[in-house]
Amino acid sequence: MDEQRVTIDMQVGVAHVRLNRADKMNALDPAMFAGIIAAIGELAAMPGLRSVVLSGEGRAFCAGLDMASMAGAGSGVDLEARTHGVANDFQQVAWGWRMLPVPVIAAIHGVAFGGGLQIASGADVRIAAPGTRLSVMEMKWGIVPDMAGFALWRGNVRDDALREAAYTAREFDAAEAQAMGFVTRLADDPLAEALALARSIAERNPHAVRAAKRLANLEGDTAAILLAESREQAALLRTPNQMEAVMANMQKRPPRFAD
């Protein structure tokens, strides 16, 4: 990955991904964009992966765009070009976490502004320190959130609260963010909580966890979702891992799952 802007530490099925530009509060420059996209690609192909924790080094999760570094980065770029499925490069750094096959937990502290908030929003679960400051900051610069934020916030953030946050670019704290839906829950040590949650997920049937994420990501009419539930369940029933989950519970022992 580019200049170690992003690091990955893998332990017992849990990958801890760190944004690693602490001197700039992990602000997004071209190298950080490239590092995040590379990390997502590496995780997508990683054998034995069960869950992911995403955090930021230093005083903040991510302060958003490094405006000085990014001043000319968008010049001449075709934002409508889809380079990663439904997303462009700028959207992939947030949308890519949602598309990983395993759950992602974001540990948020310090600040999560603009693009940083959108990256955190790509996670399945967001755990924030009480003193964290957040903002849908793009309107401050006369632009709109375009790093997959609106797609990721839909269904999580209350509609009127999102509109106010996007129209005003005002800052809010973690408690208000939780009330609005930007944050799942608060913890004094969000990284420790995120790692504990990731480890507990890693102890479950990995095939069932991945199936649950596929179902959680579904959009469409009720009939399509109901049918998808039935298909996922049919594919899991009586498989070795599903039977191991049953036997481990009955025998009151830790399960031993295969990837």
How would residue 1 be classed by pLDDT, with cut points 50, 70 and 90?
very low
Rounded-to-integer distance, Cα 64 and Cα 36, Å? 13
Q: What is the pLDDT of residue 13?
A: 97
pLDDT in tens, 183-239: 999 999 999 999 999 999 999 999 999 999 999 999 989 999 999 999 999 999 999
What is the model's pTM?
Answer: 0.95
Backbone φ and ψ of 134, nearest 5°: -130, 155
How would residue 2 be classed by pLDDT, with cut points 50, 70 and 90?
very low
pLDDT in tens, 126-137: 999 999 999 999
- Looking at the chain, which runs of residues are DSSP E strands? 6-11, 14-19, 51-56, 104-108, 111-113, 125-128, 133-135, 171-173, 185-186
147 close to 116: Cβ distance less than 8 angstroms: no
Q: Once rounded to an integer, what is the mean pLDDT over residues 12-29?
A: 97
Longest Cα–Cα distance in the chain: 62
Q: Once rounded to an integer, what is the mean pLDDT over residues 168-182?
A: 98
**% of the chain at pLDDT higher than 90:** 93
Q: What is the pLDDT of residue 77?
A: 84
Residue 93 has pLDDT above 50, yes or no: yes
Q: What is the pLDDT of residue 72?
A: 65
Rounded-to-integer distance, Cα 110 and Cα 171, Å? 12
Of 15, 70, 73, 12, nearest to 39 by C-alpha is: 15
Domains of the chain: 2-201 (3.90.226.10), 205-251 (1.10.12.10)
Phi-psi region of 121 (alpha: psi -120 to 50; beta: other; left: phi over 0): alpha
